[in-house]
Amino acid sequence: MGRGDIKTKKGKTFAGSFGKSRPAKVTKKAVAAVEVAEKKKTAAKKKA
């Protein structure tokens, strides 16, 4: 449960890795692109 344990947040911070317990920061552009794609899918379903 210390710095050497890569499965914990403290260990991932020390190792500099990302994963389930320490997700990488998501950029706003990527989030916006996902939202736009979802809106397009719902708009296409309404027309069809």
Segment (H or E) for 36: helix 28-47
Answer for the pair 39, 27: CB distance below 8 angstroms, yes or no: no
> What pLDDT was estimated at residue 25?
81
Per-residue pLDDT tens digits for 1-48: 888 888 888 888 889 888 887 888 876 666 666 777 777 766 666 555
Answer for the pair 25, 39: CB distance below 8 angstroms, yes or no: no
Residues with Cβ within 8 Å of residue 17, at least 6 apart in sequence:
6
Answer for the pair 2, 11: CB distance below 8 angstroms, yes or no: yes
Locate the domains of the chain by residue range.
9-47
Q: Can you say how many angstroms the Cα of residue 15 is from the centroid of all Cα atoms in its chain? A: 19
- Which amino acid would we find at residue 34? V
> What pLDDT was estimated at residue 47?
55
